[in-house]
Copies of this chain bind each other. A is one copy, B any other.
Amino acid sequence: MSEFGERIVPGFASSFEGEHLVSERSEFQQIEIYQNASFGRMLVLDGLIQTTERDEFIYHEMLVHVPLLSLETPRSVLIIGGGDGGTLRRVLEHPVERAVMVEIDRRVTDLCKEWMPSIAGSAFEDPRAEVMFGDGIVFVKETGETFDAIFIDSSDPVGPGEGLFTTEFYEAASKRLNPRGMLAAQSGSPAFQQGELHRTYSHARSVFQNTQEYLCLVPTYPGAIWSIVVAGDRFTIDSKVAEQRARDRKLDVRYWTPAIQRGAFDLPAFVHDVIAPDGPPHTWGPSPAEDERTEIPRG
């Protein structure tokens, strides 16, 4: 049995044990997969927990369904990252004609297919899916294609994911969106990564006409409260419309409900402060160390 976990902020860590199934250094990062008694298989990249078999549904449903249910006919979708296939699977529950996924690290996808196949289900075999391995930033700059939705399903803005959180990237992505298209990206913990959330939201707001932030709850992420930014020039998110569409599209949901979607945009008072133009105010939490989340050294 191995011990692993994350140093979340100074003096606070999560700690897991599990059977160490995979330990591999890829071209891009250190990849680990563990078998945990409570969460099933867990994917850990560079020491940070990315997804688990038991709670992946929360993040993936909220990342994908909220934007796609606001589109009447989402035809083409681009996913940057998302190597485990969970985002792709939810995208394909919608009536899309084409879902392009650009993952930087082929080994993540290969190992997830082998060890955590329940997350992608049959998504990788779907004829509407086109999976490429390469740099999503380069793809977005070079492709001539446009999409109805772009999902940034990346690790944090350190390591391979860094360039996906910049104004420059959002500008390039905005040119690849159809007129009513939307971009959605994870934007970190509103409790423990306030600087990251503030910057991600500010960068999106500087590029798009309409930028909104919503929350979901992932028990295995540090602090469990997770934020997602959704941005575009013309879109309306309406939970009544979403309810009807979810029924029409026969979505298989375990976290998402119309009311949860509506409530997800109602931010706690301190989160409003974090995304305010002059935020974050550092009135809560460990501000000086907010971006220092790192792997716990283990003996």
A interface list, Cβ under 8 A from B: 5, 8-18, 36-39, 54-55, 57-58, 191-192, 217, 219-220, 223-225, 253-257, 259-260, 262-264, 266-270, 272, 283-286, 289, 296
A58 to B270 alpha-carbon distance, docked (Å): 10
A5 to B14 alpha-carbon distance, docked (Å): 9
Oligomer: number of copies: 2
- Chain B's nearest CB lies how many Å from the CB of A93? 15
Which residues of chain B are within 8 angstroms of A54 by Cβ–Cβ distance? 284-286
Which residues of chain B are within 8 angstroms of A264 by Cβ–Cβ distance? 263
- A11 pairs with B5, CB closer than 8 A: no
- Chain B's nearest CB lies how many Å from the CB of A86? 15
Cβ-neighbour of A12 out of B38, B192, B270 (below 8 A): B38
- Give me 17 other A-B pairs in contact (C-beta within 8 A), A254-B270, A260-B266 excluded: A11-B17, A11-B39, A12-B38, A14-B15, A37-B289, A54-B284, A54-B286, A58-B268, A217-B225, A219-B285, A223-B224, A254-B268, A257-B267, A257-B268, A259-B263, A260-B268, A260-B269
Nearest-CB residue, chain B, relative to A257: B269
Scoring A11, A264, A284, A289 by chain B CB atoms within 10 A of each residue's CB, the highest score goes to A11
Which residues of chain B are within 8 angstroms of A256 by Cβ–Cβ distance? 268-269
- B253 pairs with A257, CB closer than 8 A: no
- Chain B's nearest CB lies how many Å from the CB of A94? 18
Which residues of chain B are within 8 angstroms of A191 by Cβ–Cβ distance? 55, 219
- A266 pairs with B263, CB closer than 8 A: yes
Known: A192-B219, A255-B270. A286 touches B38 (CB 8 A): yes
Which residues of chain B are within 8 angstroms of A267 by Cβ–Cβ distance? 257, 259-260
Which residues of chain B are within 8 angstroms of A220 by Cβ–Cβ distance? 12
A267 to B266 alpha-carbon distance, docked (Å): 14
A36 to B12 alpha-carbon distance, docked (Å): 8
Which residues of chain B are within 8 angstroms of A283 by Cβ–Cβ distance? 254
- B11 pairs with A18, CB closer than 8 A: yes
Which residues of chain B are within 8 angstroms of A55 by Cβ–Cβ distance? 191, 284-285
Cβ-neighbour of A254 out of B192, B219, B224, B284 (below 8 A): B284
